[in-house]
Amino acid sequence: MSKTITLRVNDDVYQMIKTAADGQRRNLSNFIEFATLQYLTSATYVDDAEMELILNDAELVANLRQGLEDIKKSDYTVV
């Protein structure tokens, strides 16, 4: 199922999106969907090599585990 959204951007941003879409021979809707998915998957997820680096950092893993425990106990301050 598809959803329709309304997106308001200024003229400069529109021209950037339009130019990028034209460069990839995509219509605006398809380009915005493509660009959004590209951003979300690259910004939200780490690749296997990066995850290995994270998991091999014992101090970082310990701090993350402690943070999770603190959250479970509501022992934190939002700054």
Residue type, 37: L
pLDDT of 60 reads 96
Position of tokens 């034209």?
22
CA distance 17 to 1: 25
> In degrees to the nearest 10, what's the CA dihedral of 33, 37, 43, 49?
-150
Is there a contact between 17 and 8 (Cβ–Cβ < 8 Å)? no
pLDDT at 28: 96
Provide the whole-model pTM: 0.55
pLDDT digits (tens, 9 = 90+) for 4-60: 999 999 999 999 999 999 999 999 999 999 999 988 888 777 889 989 999 999 999
> What pLDDT is stored for residue 76 in this prediction?
81
Per-residue pLDDT, 40: 86
